[in-house]
């Protein structure tokens, strides 16, 4: 510029910390099991600590349920089923679900903060995704409670009985909603086992059930580790088991249910392909890659953990992805500007780090961003691998962390072949500006959910579930009611 001394130097202007406050509620020092409408200690008196993965501090002590506690909970659920819940009209059941939905909304801020403290996910996500979506699931299923006849025209839908439900640590309250809302709407009672690293919002949910006046025993919550879950699955009093979690545990559950009449739905792992064609809106596709793999630290069963990009735009996509990733802020989950929070647990953090090493040992090239991470707590910088092959473990196995594997393809058929060459079949993504190509690709991928020009979108009215080793049964929508009713 002529005749000027205007500054041409860029500014290092950035964002000051903007932490969400946690002083508007108080967690209890210890939480009991929620059985028959009351909080009770575990029979053994044992407790375990739940910690904040962002600073490794203990948040509360949680009752550790043993076999006897499981038995008590299942019996409480049976009593509530026989005496109250199965006889209640759908319209009355619906009222309770509406009430729960509204209380979730009222306590949204508290629930969001606790979710972020207990699980490590950024407040931006727990506030904008987890909690509103959990409320939406209760609203949606409240509407179904008295309309089951319309969900299954020409048939009579009746409840199954007592459902044992085991949920993972990646979306603690949202998974409560996915499991409990359809079960209750259809007239079943529930014994829920949340994950041992993230029990707090499920216990707050138990408080919400009390607040809503839900009849005692309709919802029961038993906390503990894998052995508690195993005891629940083994209990002969269950009519239905629903599990979300790893494929290995899912297989074990299926074995232990063999020969029994209890019904089973499984929502297991995934290794989704996110396919970017050269005619896609590239900048928006890059954003889709980010949402696909870095949402919730990559702790998402339907994460777009494999990127398949057409070779003519591979270089552009990788360059843009790197630039975009450098803007991801890793750190305090309660800071409103944080994009990627803490890894949920020490064990998971080690598992992800193992995979980072495995990938490099196999000959893949690792890229990680340069952002600073806190000293305490469990963190993994956003990462991707290039120069990977189908045979690599980082392509075949679910890492469940912020780690992406990038491959290129030349033709549509090659993309489909790679996308389907996995034991999983939960989700997928396609990015193209051409409508016809969208349909060609979505028909060609064997997966339960496929997003076009977007990723990781959820709605209570949209069924979610997998093929192959990603499980069976659907959650959400009319399809999601089916596992919770007997039709005659």
Partner 1 sequence: MSSSLAVSTKLNLQAHPVDEVGIRERVARLATRSIKKASKVEGLKLALSMVDLTTLEGADTPGKVRQLCTKAIHLHSGRKDLPMVAAVCVYPTMVRIAREALQGTPIQVAAVATAFPSGMNPLAVKLEDTRYAVAEGAHEIDMVISRGDFLRGDYARVADEIGQVKGACGKAHLKVILETGELGTLDRVRLASDIAMQSGADFIKTSTGKIQPAATPEVVLVMLQAISDFYRKTGKRIGMKPAGGIANAKAALNLLIMVREVLGPAWLTPSLFRIGASKLPNDMLMQLEKERTGVYQGLDYFSND
Query: Which residues form the catalytic set?
Result: 267, 301
Q: Does 354 bind partner 1 (CB under 8 A)?
A: no
* DSSP percent split of the chain into helix, strand, coil, nearest 5: 40, 20, 40
Residue 85 to residue 420: CA distance in whole angstroms = 43
User: By rule CB under 8 A, what string of x and - marks binding of each residue 108-147 to partner 1?
Assistant: ----------------x---x-------------------
Q: In angstroms, what is the minimal distance from the CB of 317 to partner 1?
A: 12
Which residue in 22, 282, 373, 438 binds partner 1 (CB under 8 A)?
A: 282
3-state secondary structure (DSSP) of residue 297 = helix
How far apart (Å, rounded) are the C-alpha atoms in residues 373 and 343? 12
Q: Which stretch binds partner 1 (CB under 8 A): 3-11, 183-191, 259-267, 477-485?
A: 3-11
Q: Which residues pair with 51 in a beta bridge?
A: 58
Residue from 71, 287, 362, 397 that binds partner 1 (CB under 8 A)? 287
Q: Which of 22, 59, 281, 373 binds partner 1 (CB under 8 A)?
A: 281
Q: Which residues pair with 406 in a beta bridge?
A: 307
Which CB sits closer to partner 1, 209 or 330?
Answer: 330
CB of 1 to partner 1, least distance (A): 6
Q: Which of 55, 105, 210, 337 is in the footprint of partner 1 by CB under 8 A?
A: 337
Contacts with partner 1 in 295-324 (CB under 8 A)? Answer: 316, 319, 323
Backbone CA torsion sign across 196, 61, 164, 171: negative
List of residues 6+ apart from 31 with CB closer than 8 A: 39, 60, 61, 62, 63, 199, 200, 203, 223
Comparing CB distances to partner 1, the nearer of 201 and 432 is: 432
Residue 5 or 391 having the CB closest to partner 1: 5
Question: By rule CB under 8 A, what string of x and - marks binding of each residue 419-438 to partner 1?
Answer: --------------x-----
CA 187 to chain centre: 25
Which residue number, 268 or 309, has a Cβ lying nearer to partner 1? Answer: 309
CA distance 168 to 244: 6
Smallest separation, CB 286 to partner 1 (Å):
10
83 touches partner 1 by CB under 8 A: no
Nearer to partner 1, 188 or 310 (CB): 310
Output the DSSP codes for 118-183.
HH---HHHIIIIIHHHHHHHHHHHHHHTT-HHHHSTTS-EEE--EEEEE--SSSHHHHHHHHHHHH
Length of the chain: 488
Among 135, 145, 209, 280, contact with partner 1 (rule: CB under 8 A) = 280
Q: Which stretch binds partner 1 (CB under 8 A): 8-16, 103-111, 253-261, 480-488?
A: 8-16
Of 62 and 285, which CB lies nearer to partner 1 in the complex structure?
285
Bridge partner list, 345 = none
Residue 138's Cβ-side half-sphere holds a number of Cα atoms within 13 Å equal to 27
Q: Is there binding between residue 347 and partner 1 (CB under 8 A)? A: no
Residue of 248, 283, 361, 459 that binds partner 1 (CB under 8 A): 283
Alpha helices per DSSP H over 326-373: 346-361
Q: Which of 83, 155, 327, 443 binds partner 1 (CB under 8 A)?
A: 327
Q: How far is the CB of 21 from partner 1 (least distance, A)?
A: 13
Query: What are the C-alpha distances in Å from 214 to residues 37, 93, 97, 244, 386?
Result: 8, 9, 9, 25, 52
State which residue, 256 or 453, has the beta carbon closest to partner 1.
453
Residue 21 is a binding residue for partner 1 (CB under 8 A): no
User: Based on CB atoms, which residue is closest to partner 1, 283 or 413?
Assistant: 283
Dist CA 397 CA 117 (whole Å): 28
Which of 10-18, 73-81, 98-106, 350-358 is the region at the interface with partner 1 (rule: CB under 8 A)?
10-18
CA 223 to CA 70: how far, in whole Å? 10
Locate 87 and state its tokens: 């006889």
Structure tokens at 68: 């006897």
Footprint of partner 1 on 435-474 (CB under 8 A): 453-454
- Bridge partner residues of 449 (DSSP): 427
Applying CB under 8 A, the residues found at the interface with partner 1 are 1-16, 18, 124, 128, 279-285, 287-288, 316, 319, 323, 327, 336-337, 433, 453-454
């Amino acid at each position: 510029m002529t005749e000027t001394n205007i500054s041409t130097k860029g500014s290092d202007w950035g964002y000051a910390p903007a932490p969400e406050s946690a002083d508007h509620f108080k967690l209890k020092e210890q939480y009991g099991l929620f059985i028959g409408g009351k909080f009770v200690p575990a029979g053994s008196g044992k407790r375990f600590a739940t910690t904040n993965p962002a600073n490794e501090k203990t948040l509360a002590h949680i009752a550790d349920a043993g076999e006897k506690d499981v038995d008590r909970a299942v019996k409480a659920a049976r009593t509530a089923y026989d005496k109250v819940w199965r006889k209640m009209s759908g319209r009355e059941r619906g009222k309770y679900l509406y009430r729960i939905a509204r209380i979730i909304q009222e306590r949204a801020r508290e629930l969001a903060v606790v979710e972020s403290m207990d699980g490590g996910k950024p407040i931006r996500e727990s506030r904008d995704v987890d909690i509103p979506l959990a409320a939406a699931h209760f609203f949606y299923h409240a509407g179904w409670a008295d309309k089951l006849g319309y969900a299954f025209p020409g048939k009579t839908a009746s409840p199954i009985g007592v459902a044992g439900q085991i949920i993972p640590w990646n979306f603690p309250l949202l998974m409560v909603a996915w499991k409990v809302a359809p079960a209750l709407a259809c007239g079943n009672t529930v014994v829920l086992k949340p994950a041992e690293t993230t029990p707090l919002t499920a216990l707050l949910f138990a408080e919400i059930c009390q607040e809503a006046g839900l009849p005692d025993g309709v919802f029961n919550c038993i906390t503990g580790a894998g052995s508690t879950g195993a005891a629940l699955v083994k209990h002969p009093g269950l009519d239905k088991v629903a599990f979300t979690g790893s494929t290995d545990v899912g297989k074990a559950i299926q074995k232990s249910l063999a020969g029994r009449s209890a019904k089973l739905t499984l929502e297991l792992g995934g290794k989704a392909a996110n396919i970017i064609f050269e005619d896609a809106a590239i900048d928006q596709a890059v954003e889709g890659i980010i949402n696909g793999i870095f949402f919730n630290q990559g702790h998402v069963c339907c994460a777009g953990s494999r990127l398949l990009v057409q070779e003519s735009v591979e270089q552009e996509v990788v360059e843009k992805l790197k630039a975009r990733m450098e803007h991801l802020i890793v750190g305090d989950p309660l800071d409103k500007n944080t994009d990627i929070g803490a890894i949920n647990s020490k064990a998971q953090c080690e598992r992800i780090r193992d995979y980072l090493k495995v990938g490099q040992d196999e000959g893949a090239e690792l890229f990680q961003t340069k952002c600073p991470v806190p000293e305490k707590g469990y963190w993994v910088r956003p990462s991707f691998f290039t120069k990977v092959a189908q045979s690599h473990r980082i392509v075949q196995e679910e890492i469940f962390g912020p780690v992406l594997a990038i491959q290129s393809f030349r033709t549509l058929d090659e993309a489909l072949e790679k996308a389907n060459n996995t034991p999983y079949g939960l989700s997928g993504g396609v990015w193209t500006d051409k409508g016809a190509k969208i349909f060609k690709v979505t028909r060609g991928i064997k997966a339960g959910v496929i997003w076009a020009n977007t990723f990781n979108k959820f709605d209570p009215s949209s069924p979610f579930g997998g093929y192959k080793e990603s499980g069976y049964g659907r959650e959400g929508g009319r399809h999601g009611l089916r596992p919770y009713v007997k039709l005659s």
